[in-house]
Amino acid sequence: MAAEEEAAPLSGVGWAAGPESAPAGWSVITTSVEGSAANLGKGFGHKGGYLCVSTAAPGSAGPVVTDVQVLSDRNPQPAGYSRAPEFPEPRSGVSRKKRLYVRLQPRGAAETAVFDIKLSGKSRAVPQYMKIGEIGSFAIWCKKGALPQCSPPPVPKPRTVSLGLKQLSLADSEQQAPGKPVAQSGSRHASFTLHNSADDGSSIYNLSAMDGVPFTLHPKFERSPKSDSSAILTDLTVKSLADIEKEYNYTFVVERTAAARLPPSIC
């Protein structure tokens, strides 16, 4: 059953004067179900002839064969049917005792279609196939089935933002202070840590340009509107690098290393 659903319907049924006469895309039925040569002979109005079929391409929206009839030349052409093509073109003045008619319909408008055609002896029955007529010494059988409709390609649904997400987004934007600069990741800035002597119990005013520098400023050097700058300068003692290294046992390794890595233009 799965193989039947996956089979492609026929898109054409025709007649070929020989096994090599069918055009590209057409398959000639050269043998019957018994295994004998499926040459229709003089019964089709020629010295020889074969049925040929074409199969619809997967996903094709072209017409498909929905019915096939074999009628005598005395019967009128049925409405909605067309004569099966002949390869090569039929010769004028040649009588055909039997004619092959094909009904084609757009794939989207057809519910059933013909999926296969077989030939057998007149006394032979082909299971699951329907007999449509006889030509010469052969019986013509066709297999019909439901035509699966091609489903349209899926259309992605537009993304919608729920009310909860909108409210959350607005709440986050309102919590941010306007004009507050945002620090960019990866950038290096000199950090200054200030501890107010009034709030800090140790009464230390810290100022550092980078982490790891063990220097603190005495509270008397804290600038204040009430402080006297002349008195501060009087008690100020300037120490050299050697005095600092000796007193604090600090060799300025971090500063020298950082200075050695700076470009000459900055130094």
Residue 2 pLDDT:
43
Distance separating the N- and C-terminal Cα atoms of the chain: 84
Percentage of the chain exceeding pLDDT 90 = 33
| Average pLDDT of span 44-52 | 71
pLDDT at 144 over 90: yes
pLDDT at 4 over 60: no
pLDDT at 139 over 80: yes
Residue 259 pLDDT:
75
Q: Quote helix, strand, coil % in the chain, to nearest 5.
A: 20, 25, 55
| Spans of all domains in the chain | 10-146
Residue 235 pLDDT:
66
Cβ neighbourhood burial of 231 (10 Å; 0-12, 13-18, 19+): exposed
Cβ neighbourhood burial of 71 (10 Å; 0-12, 13-18, 19+): middle
Task: Round to whole Å and give the CA distance between 267 and 89.
Answer: 94
Residue 119 pLDDT:
96
Structure token digits, residue 161: 């933002």
pLDDT at 26 over 50: yes
Residue 68 pLDDT:
96
Structure token digits, residue 68: 């096939």
Task: Round to whole Å and give the CA distance between 56 and 115.
Answer: 10
Amino acid identity, position 81:
Y
| Average pLDDT of the residues of the chain | 74
Q: Comparing 224 with 112, which gets the higher pLDDT? A: 112
Residue showing tokens 């945002």: 182
Residue 196 pLDDT:
47
Q: Which residues of 125-148 are buried (b: 16+ CB within 10 A; e: fewer)?
A: ebeebeebbebbebbbbbbbeebe
Residue 118 pLDDT:
96
Residue 111 pLDDT:
92
pLDDT at 161 over 70: no
Residue 129 pLDDT:
96
pLDDT at 107 over 70: yes
Using alpha carbons, select from 45, 42, 43, 17 the residue that is nearest to residue 30: 17
* Range of lowest pLDDT (6-15, 121-130, 174-183, 239-248): 174-183
Task: Find out if CATH 2.40.40.20 is the number for domain 10-146.
Answer: no
Model pTM? 0.53
Cβ neighbourhood burial of 235 (10 Å; 0-12, 13-18, 19+): exposed
Task: Round to whole Å and give the CA distance between 245 and 253.
Answer: 11
Assign 189 a pLDDT band (cuts: 50, 70, 90): very low
| Average pLDDT of span 184-206 | 44
Residue 93 pLDDT:
45
pLDDT tens by residue, 57-104: 887 888 999 999 999 888 999 999 999 998 887 655 445 678 899 999
| Average pLDDT of span 157-186 | 57
Three-state secondary structure string covering 167-236: HHHHHHHHHCCCCCCCCCCCCCCCCCCCCCCCCCCCCCECCCCCCCCCCCECHHHCCCCCCCHHHHHHCC
Using alpha carbons, select from 73, 75, 74, 53 the residue that is nearest to residue 64: 53
Q: Which residues of 196-220 are buried (b: 16+ CB within 10 A; e: fewer)?
A: eeeeeeeeebeeeeeeeeeeeeeee
Q: Comparing 263 with 54, which gets the higher pLDDT? A: 54
pLDDT tens by residue, 27-43: 999 999 999 999 887 54
